[in-house]
Amino acid sequence: MREEEKQTSPKPARKFFRKRWVFPAMYIAVAAIIISTAVWFQATNQPEPEVAEEENTNVDGSYGENETNDGDAVEVTADNETFAWPVVNQDEAVIETQYYDAEGSDEEREAALVFYNNTYQQSKGVDIASQSGESFDVTASMSGTILSVTEDALLGNIVEIEHGEGIITHYSSLEEVQVAVGDQVEQGDVLAQAGQSLFNEEAGIHVHFEIRKDGDALNPLDYFNQPLSSLYDATEEDDSEGDSNAEEPAGDEESVDSETGEEPADDEDEAEGVEDDQEDGQEEESPDASIGQSNT
């Protein structure tokens, strides 16, 4: 009996497959595997989409390639800046020596003279010191490229920054210079520490600051908080005024005598007039000569 029961009893595997949910679950699993494989295969073989080239917009709003890591990029940045005081805190700064303006008042011109070597020298910039009289950080007034770093026995250490279009900012009476020729600096970067100079000992610890355009020194007080383009406009205005004031070349038009209001006679007319006068004179002298001969 036991052997017959063993033969007639179903195996566990058969019992498992006889359950209703087994085959649907298997179908779903196989379908999921097939779909996942198809999706993966399609994703791996799909070509990469072409990325449309975007137009680069420069800082000034124009379209084109942006210049980077060169002097042009610094000039674009500088165009959007305004000249700043070469100090960290403007409120603590005082001007010891003014810029010499030939058109200024007597007091202003006197305040812009530096007494050195028994002579008075005209200041080409402004001497800026701190209210405390102590040294301070000298910063770049505008972004640019370090043009020169020199040491002068009379003026102290000198740093010059080039901003393009012939515009240079000049810093002298410096100590502990922290930049080198060719460095790219941004507005507000520390260049050196303020020091003293033999040229203007009365100013104490200060920085002598100048703005130059094509080698000519300008009054920095006129350009603080003004953009770099203000120097372009000023130069163009000066050129236009010079052209308008230029003398016009003499043309073919005949000039008028300011006293008589008559037009001057031509050279030929003047020559004819002289000949007529000479003939008239000869005719008048001839009768006088004949009379003289008859009397003798």
Do 128 and 94 contact (CB within 8 A), yes or no? yes
Q: At a CB cut-off of 8 Å and minimum separation 6, what does 279 contact?
A: none
Would the pLDDT of 204 be above 90? yes
How sure is the predictor about 25, in pLDDT bands with cuts at 50, 70 and 90? confident
Would the pLDDT of 36 be above 90? no
For residue 256, what are its two tokens? Answer: 């008028």
Would the pLDDT of 290 be above 50? no
Residue bearing tokens 């566990």: 12
pLDDT confidence of residue 12: 63
Would the pLDDT of 2 be above 80? no
* Rounded mean pLDDT, 128-143: 95
pLDDT confidence of residue 78: 53
Q: What is the pLDDT of residues 277-289, one digit of tens each?
A: 544 444 444 444 3
Do 127 and 96 contact (CB within 8 A), yes or no? yes
Would the pLDDT of 262 be above 80? no
How sure is the predictor about 157, in pLDDT bands with cuts at 50, 70 and 90? very high
pLDDT confidence of residue 56: 46
Q: Please state, in angstroms and as integers, the Cα–Cα distance from residue 109 to each residue in 34, 113, 124, 125, following that order.
A: 93, 7, 12, 13
